[in-house]
């Protein structure tokens, strides 16, 4: 129900003034007007992005819009156009590889979409044309066609229901594929349409298509020969949405109003906004640094080249004369070309393969979440769902968790606990209710202790039975029959009317509270039998069946926080029953009744129950007539229908008398408290955002151990504001300052964020705020105050261990998330929720988690990750998130490092070759380095590494703090890796340089040339960076072994192969036998070993000296190697 409002908020409130007119069955309304069929789009669904023809250009265009791809394209083009040191192949090949792989992936995905589209578009449907049934392909349906749909078929487009095979002119649908709600919803035919669709002459005027699933306004004009046309209002209850399925109804006929891409389903189908992870931002920052390094290297080389050439004899020694064209070229143009050449020579410092590897890592890595059997919930038979793999590492960076209460912290599995009628408490002792649900021998009379008088009791129970929108599930006949036979004996005693098996009676409702209430009433003897053609039947305690005519339902919405029904009893009395939150009911009933009930309600709330108050009133004939007219008029309105309705609702729901209140328990989720404790241990601040009332929410917080016994609560609610009897604004100001002093100024300075909740000496604060106060804080009357309050509020909240925000509207939830997200230090936020009212905050937060709960699928659909239960959040963050973060952070740093020490020797070589852009390495090595020789080990590492094993991570939530605030990708570690890269690069180059001071390195006195030089450096390089990764690997599975040693073996094999053959079609055979000759030299071997060891020794020393000595040293050191035996024991 909440989602109606929500969708309006999300869908934007823009009013579409335009409306469209549809001629039912393409019959013109009147004979005089010329019939011009209006143009609408056809019923083809196109979710695919490409066609065969535009795939190549469009896909390429989209790929090159990515800045990295574009950069490599530019480099490639420069290589093609300008005479550059390396052939275009060296950068063209990797780019081509990347582009092709991506294109194939996207092409495949699009092919799947095409297939799905075709399945929908070619689906055969039945269309009534001139009285005949014609089978058509779904895509050929036009607006105005009358379509026939049979049971269990999905609707091919948005239809206005004209005719149903059911007697009561209704039909049932499920919208499982739209919003995931599997309950049956009732839709109504347009009243007074003719049974004979053939002769129906009508037009429909309705709004232009808009995405809100729960909103539709329209009008139908029915023309009957020469009479004034009859006008009927159309609402969402008349509209059958494409994608929904017809249930429990043999067949229906409807007229198409929105088709194809204009259906609500298609309009709702949109790509989610791209969330970017903090790691990605770090990558871009590092990339910028490396781009600067690249440009400055090229600039330095270009400058030095011309300085060097200015010395006589250096520019053009006789042995290296220039061609005529070179001599003719303009000096500045030459400089520019030289600059470009250097750029090309050094461009490998920004690796094209890093993007591929990062994408692969994310894509493949996310499978571990889906595969995790700990996330599998046997109840719903589903595991975790990953909607985006871009945010894996963000799970390891969460600082704030915003959680919904109902359905997230609690199970949303409502149980009727007690009620209170006229101030008397009725507690339902359900010792054996779990067994058969109803103690027949006890007798209903005994259950109700008749404290408040029989009449009041029965009125209350009738109210519970009538005031709802629950439907009775029509289960298959067989199972019901079985149930009946089992129970018949027990009931036979009771009376002539055989009671249906109560607990087996299935109720369906959009909110579990309603079911709990109806079931609660059933326990006291009042059973709701169902709603048939606007008549509600209830079975009373005396086994009489009472009939009530349902006149109006005044729907629930989260703003009013109440709902009402208007019914007419057999005796002709018109009654209004209303139930809702205490705050919305109390002002609308007689005040003297309130006090008796209020106490009970508040007591129930502190016990953690959800409370609702029930009120009623008799409507006199005039009152009813007035209300009826008002409601009907409002329902017909095309504009501002909702506002008009709410006004009428408010008018009707006044002057009621309070009967009682109910208390429904919502149990905590499994391991909710443990999960919350773990999150807090991990340094994550947990905020509870709920629409529920404060007392209920507070007790849930205590139960979840978000608030401890010693937590000092700072309350900023309407109640505390009203204390002291001053203006709210002033009081707010005062309280904010007071709390700020307490929580922020007097708090001891936080020591590096680690010791905070460890030492119990510091006082923990909990903060409570409600929706009304929050809006005061956020939208204060004066501008200056507003920002000041906001700041104070944020600072207080950030110093509190946990914060509770109650009475929140969905949009306010998102507002809070946004506020925290944009606060100083831009902390990483995570929202978790299960209902449609959480969608806004799920979309707003950095990471949105949906719980596959009972309130439909909207949260899941809009989330980045979906898990079956709250308890899974712990493993998702502490184990998966932590590991993903460490993996990708290491991946990124390692990638930059390995390319820096790859290119640095090439840069240094320029100083020894007269700045002539001579590459140090062969083109094959330049190309293969990132693709083949060093890519697989890091990919395997980034998928498999567990520097601390999962159990330890789960047991010690404090380990999560070690990587907080992007710890591994800050400038410090980046500098370390960069320096390491520089150190290695210098070592490689100069080590070999000094060896080559005498190039006679073979025992036969022969000398080595420049390619031998490059090959020695390259060999050292490949071995060092691979072994460096091996040193960092803490978790050696057979895959790591295979890939690391395999890569090195492949390098050796490739080098032999590449140098072992005179390659046809190649102009240059420069590497011919260079590698083999190198290996025949003892000196080369010795220098390779020396340089590798020298590069790695400092690392080893550092590891030993940096051995963890902090408080967690033991935990980290206690990581024992997993033997296979060990594993088996654990399982």
On whether 837 is known to bind a ligand per the annotation, the reply is yes
Secondary structure letter of residue 168 according to DSSP: T
Q: How far is residue 982 CA from its own chain's centroid? A: 41
793: annotated binding-site residue? Answer: no
Between 219 and 993, CB nearer to other proteins: 993
Residue of 122, 119, 165, 115 whose CA lies nearest to 141: 122
Query: What is the β-pairing status of strands 865-867 and 847-851?
Result: parallel
When the beta carbons of 11 and 180 are compared against other proteins, the nearer one is 180
Tell me the closest approach of the beta carbon of residue 547 to other proteins, in angstroms. 38
Q: Which CB, 399 or 922, lies closer to other proteins? A: 922
The DSSP 8-state label assigned to residue 382 in this structure reads: B
Closest separation between CB of residue 919 and other proteins, Å? 8
Let me know: does 147 contact 255? Beta carbons within 8 Å.
yes
CB half-sphere exposure, 164, CA atoms < 13 A: 26
Distance separating the N- and C-terminal Cα atoms of the chain: 45
665 annotated ligand-binding residue: no
Give buried/exposed letters for 839-863 (b at 16+ CB in 10 A, else e): bbbbbbbbbbbbbbbbbbbbbbbbb
* Among 158, 404, 513, 666, the one annotated catalytic: 404
Cα–Cα distance measured from residue 986 to residue 974, given in angstroms and rounded to the nearest whole number: 18
Taking alpha carbons only, the member of 405, 421, 477 closest to residue 804 is 405
If the CB atoms of residues 218 and 991 are measured against other proteins, the closer one turns out to be 991
Closest to other proteins by CB, 304 or 1039:
1039
Tell whether residue 32 is among the known ligand binding residues: no
Asked if residues 862 and 843 have their Cβ atoms less than 8 Å apart, the reply is yes
Pick 976 or 1036: Cβ nearer other proteins: 1036
Closest CA to 711 of 644, 649, 766: 766
Tally of CB atoms within 10 A around 948: 22
Residues 6+ apart with CB under 8 A from 466: 528, 536, 538, 548, 565, 567, 577
Cβ 1103 to other proteins shortest distance, Å = 5
Each residue of 721-731: b (16+ CB within 10 Å) or e? beeeeeeeeeb
Q: How far is the CB of 371 from other proteins (least distance, A)?
A: 4
Toward other proteins, which CB reaches closer, 385 or 714? 385
List Cα–Cα distances, 492 to 484, 487, 521, 542, 543, in angstroms.
11, 9, 21, 14, 12
Give whichever of 387 and 606 is closer to other proteins, judged by the CB atom: 387
CB-based contact 255:154 (threshold 8 Å): no
Residue 302 or 700 having the CB closest to other proteins: 302
Q: Residue 172: which of 197, 156, 155 has the closest Cα?
A: 155
Distance in Å, CB of 943 to other proteins, minimum: 9
955 belongs to the catalytic site: no
Tokens of 613: 């108050």
Among residues 629 and 1113, whose Cβ is nearest to other proteins? 1113
Cβ atoms of 484 and 492 closer than 8 Å: no
Chain centre to alpha carbon of residue 743? 33
Write out the H or E segment, with its range, that includes residue 805: strand 802-806
Distance between CA atoms of residues 870 and 850, nearest Å: 9
691 is in an annotated binding site: yes
Kindly provide the b/e burial profile for residues 890-923, where b requires at least 16 CB atoms within 10 angstroms of the residue's own CB: bbbbbbbbbbbbbbbbbbbbbeeebbebebbbbb
Rounded Cα distance, 654 and 560, in Å: 13
Closest among 204, 212, 251 to 231, alpha carbons compared: 204
The C-alpha atoms of residue 586 and residue 570 are separated, in whole angstroms, by 29
Q: Phi first, then psi: what are they for 461, rounded to 5°?
A: -70, -35
Q: How many CB atoms lie within 10 A of CB 654?
A: 10
CB of 939 to other proteins, least distance (A): 15
Give the CA count within 13 Å in the CB-facing half-sphere of 343.
Answer: 20
Tokens of 896: 């930059």
* 514 assigned ligand-binding residue: yes
Instruction: Considering the complex, state which of residue 242 and residue 698 has its C-beta at the smaller distance from other proteins.
Output: 242
For residues 920 and 360, the answer to whether their CB atoms sit within 8 Å is: no
The annotation status of 251 as a binding-site residue, yes or no, is: no
Q: Residue 584 CB, nearest distance to other proteins (Å)? A: 33
Beta carbon of residue 613, minimum distance to other proteins (angstroms, whole number): 36
The reply, when asked if residue 3 is annotated as ligand binding, is no
CA dist 43 and 52 (Å) reads: 21
Running DSSP on this structure, what letter comes out for residue 742? I
- Least distance between other proteins and beta carbon 1089 (Å): 9
Smallest distance from other proteins to CB 282, Å? 25
CB of 1123 to other proteins, least distance (A): 7
- Residue pair 352/860 in contact (Cβ under 8 Å)? The answer is no
DSSP assignment of 875-886 equals IIIIIIIHHHHH
* Residue 1004 is assigned to a ligand binding site: no
3-state secondary structure 507-562: EECCCHHHHHHHHHHHHCCCEEEEEECCEEEEECCCCCEEEEEEEEEEEEECCCCE
Considering the complex, what minimum distance in angstroms separates the CB of residue 175 from other proteins? 11
372 known member of a binding site: no
690 is in an annotated binding site: yes
671 is in an annotated binding site: no
807 labeled binding residue: yes
Judge residue 697's burial from the number of C-beta atoms within 10 Å of its C-beta, 0-12 exposed, 13-18 middle, 19 or more buried.
Answer: buried
Q: Please say which residue, 525 or 905, places its beta carbon nearer to other proteins.
A: 905
The answer on whether 83 is annotated among ligand-binding residues is: no
Query: Has 145 been labeled as part of a binding site?
Result: no
Known binding-site residues for Mg(2+) equal 404, 406, 834, 838
Known binding-site residues for ATP equal 404-406, 514, 556, 579, 610, 690-692, 807, 813, 837-838
Which residues are annotated as catalytic?
Answer: 404
Known binding-site residues equal 404-406, 514, 556, 579, 610, 690-692, 807, 813, 834, 837-838
């Amino acid at each position: 129900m909440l989602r109606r409002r929500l969708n309006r908020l999300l869908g934007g409130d823009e009013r579409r003034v335009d409306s469209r007119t549809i001629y039912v069955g393409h019959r013109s309304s009147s004979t005089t007007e010329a019939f011009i069929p209006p143009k609408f789009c056809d019923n083809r669904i196109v979710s695919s992005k490409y066609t065969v023809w535009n795939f190549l250009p469009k896909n390429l265009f989209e790929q090159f819009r990515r800045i990295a791809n574009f950069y490599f394209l530019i480099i490639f083009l420069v290589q093609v156009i300008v005479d550059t040191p390396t052939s275009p192949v060296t950068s063209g090949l990797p780019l081509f590889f990347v582009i092709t792989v991506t294109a194939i992936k996207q092409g495949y995905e699009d092919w799947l979409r095409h297939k799905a589209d075709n399945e929908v578009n070619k689906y055969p449907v039945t269309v009534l044309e001139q009285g005949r049934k014609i089978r058509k392909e779904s895509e050929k349906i036009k607006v105005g066609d009358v379509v026939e749909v049979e049971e269990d078929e999905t609707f091919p487009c948005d239809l206005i229901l004209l005719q149903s095979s059911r007697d009561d002119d209704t039909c049932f649908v499920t919208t499982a594929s739209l919003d995931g709600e599997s309950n049956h919803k009732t839709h109504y035919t347009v009243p007074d349409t003719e049974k004979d669709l053939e002769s129906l002459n009508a037009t429909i005027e309705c709004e232009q298509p808009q995405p809100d699933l729960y909103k539709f306004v329209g009008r139908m004009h029915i023309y009957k020969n020469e009479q004034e046309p009859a006008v009927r209002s159309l609402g969402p209850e008349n509209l059958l949405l494409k994608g929904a399925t017809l249930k429990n109804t043999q067949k229906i006929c409807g007229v198409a109003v929105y088709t194809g891409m204009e259906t609500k389903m298609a309009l709702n189908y949109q790509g989610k906004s791209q969330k970017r992870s903090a790691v990605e931002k770090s990558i871009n920052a590092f990339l910028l640094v490396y781009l600067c390094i690249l440009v400055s290297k090229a600039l330095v080389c270009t400058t030095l080249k011309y300085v060097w050439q200015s010395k006589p004899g250096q520019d053009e020694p006789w042995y290296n004369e220039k061609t005529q064209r070179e001599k003719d070229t303009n000096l500045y143009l030459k400089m520019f070309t030289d600059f470009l050449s250097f750029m090309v020579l050094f461009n490998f410092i920004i690796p094209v393969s890093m993007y591929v590897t990062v994408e692969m890592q994310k894509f493949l890595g996310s499978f571990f979440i889906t595969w995790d059997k700990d996330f599998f919930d046997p109840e719903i038979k589903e595991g975790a769902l990953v909607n985006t793999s871009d945010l894996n590492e963000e799970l390891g960076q969460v600082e704030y968790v915003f959680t919904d209460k109902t359905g997230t912290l609690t199970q949303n599995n409502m149980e009727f606990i007690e009620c209170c009628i006229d101030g008397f408490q009725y507690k339902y002792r359900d010792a054996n209710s779990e067994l058969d649900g109803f103690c027949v021998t006890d007798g209903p009379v005994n259950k109700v202790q008749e404290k408040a008088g029989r009449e009041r009791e029965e009125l209350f129970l009738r109210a519970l039975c009538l005031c709802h929108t629950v439907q009775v599930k029509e289960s298959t006949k067989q199972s019901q029959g079985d149930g009946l036979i089992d129970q018949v004996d027990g009931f036979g005693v009771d009376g002539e009317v055989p009671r249906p098996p109560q607990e087996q009676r299935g109720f369906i409702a959009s909110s579990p509270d309603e079911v709990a209430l109806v079931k609660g009433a059933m326990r006291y003897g009042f059973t709701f039998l169902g709603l048939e053609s606007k008549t509600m039947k209830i079975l009373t305690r005396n086994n009489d069946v009472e009939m009530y005519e349902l006149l109006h339902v005044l729907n629930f919405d989260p703003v009013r926080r109440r709902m009402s029904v208007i019914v007419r009893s057999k005796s002709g009395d018109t009654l209004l029953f209303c139930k809702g939150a205490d705050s919305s009911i109390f002002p609308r009933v007689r005040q003297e009744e309130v006090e008796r009930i209020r106490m009970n309600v508040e007591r129930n709330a502190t016990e953690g129950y959800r409370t609702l108050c029930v009120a009623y009133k008799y409507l006199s004939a005039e009152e009813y007539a007035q209300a009826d007219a008002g409601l009907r008029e409002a329902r017909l309105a095309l504009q501002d229908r909702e506002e008009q309705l709410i006004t009428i609702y408010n008018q009707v729901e006044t002057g009621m008398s309070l009967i009682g209140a109910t208390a429904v328990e919502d149990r905590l989720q499994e391991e909710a408290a443990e999960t919350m404790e773990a999150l807090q241990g991990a340094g994550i601040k947990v905020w509870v955002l709920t629409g529920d009332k404060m007392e209920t929410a507070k007790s849930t917080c205590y139960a979840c151990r978000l608030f401890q016994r010693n937590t000092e609560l700072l309350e900023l609610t309407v109640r505390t504001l009203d204390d002291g009897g001053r203006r709210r604004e002033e009081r707010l100001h005062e309280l904010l300052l007071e709390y700020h002093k307490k929580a922020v100024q007097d708090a001891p300075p936080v020591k590096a964020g680690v010791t905070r909740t460890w030492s119990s000496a510091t006082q923990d604060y909990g903060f409570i705020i409600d929706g009304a106060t929050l809006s005061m804080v956020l939208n204060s009357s004066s501008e200056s105050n507003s920002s000041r309050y906001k700041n104070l509020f944020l600072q207080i909240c950030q110093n509190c261990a946990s914060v509770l925000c109650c009475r929140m509207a969905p949009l306010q939830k998102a507002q809070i998330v946004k506020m925290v997200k944009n606060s100083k230090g831009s902390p990483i936020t995570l929202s978790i929720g299960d209902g449609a009212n959480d969608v806004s905050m799920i979309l707003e937060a950095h990471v949105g988690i949906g719980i596959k709960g009972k309130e439909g699928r909207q949260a899941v659909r809009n989330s980045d990750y979906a898990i079956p239960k709250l308890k899974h959040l712990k493993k998702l963050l502490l184990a998966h998130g932590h590991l993903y973060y460490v993996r990708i952070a290491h991946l990124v740093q390692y990638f930059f490092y390995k390319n820096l020490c790859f290119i640095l020797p090439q840069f240094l070589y320029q100083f020894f070759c007269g700045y002539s852009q001579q590459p140090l390495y062969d083109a094959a090595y330049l190309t293969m380095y990132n693709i083949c020789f060093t890519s697989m080990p890091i990919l395997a590492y980034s998928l498999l590494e567990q520097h601390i094993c999962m159990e330890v991570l789960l047991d010690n939530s404090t380990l999560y703090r070690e990587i907080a605030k992007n710890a591994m990708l800050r400038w410090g570690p980046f500098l370390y890796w960069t320096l390491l890269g520089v150190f290695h690069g210098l070592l490689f180059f100069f080590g070999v340089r000094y060896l080559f001071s005498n190039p006679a390195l073979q025992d036969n006195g022969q000398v080595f040339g420049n390619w031998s030089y490059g090959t020695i450096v390259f060999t050292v390089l490949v071995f060092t960076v691979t072994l460096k990764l091996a040193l960092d690997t803490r978790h050696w599975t057979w895959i790591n072994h295979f890939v690391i040693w395999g890569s090195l073996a492949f390098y050796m094999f490739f080098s032999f192969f590449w140098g072992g053959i005179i390659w046809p079609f190649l102009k240059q055979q420069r590497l011919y036998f260079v590698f083999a000759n190198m290996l025949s030299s003892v000196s080369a071997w010795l220098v390779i070993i020396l340089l590798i060891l020298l590069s790695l020794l400092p690392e080893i020393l550092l590891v030993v000296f940096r051995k963890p000595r902090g408080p967690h040293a033991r935990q980290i050191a206690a990581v024992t190697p997993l033997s296979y035996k060990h594993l088996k024991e654990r399982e």
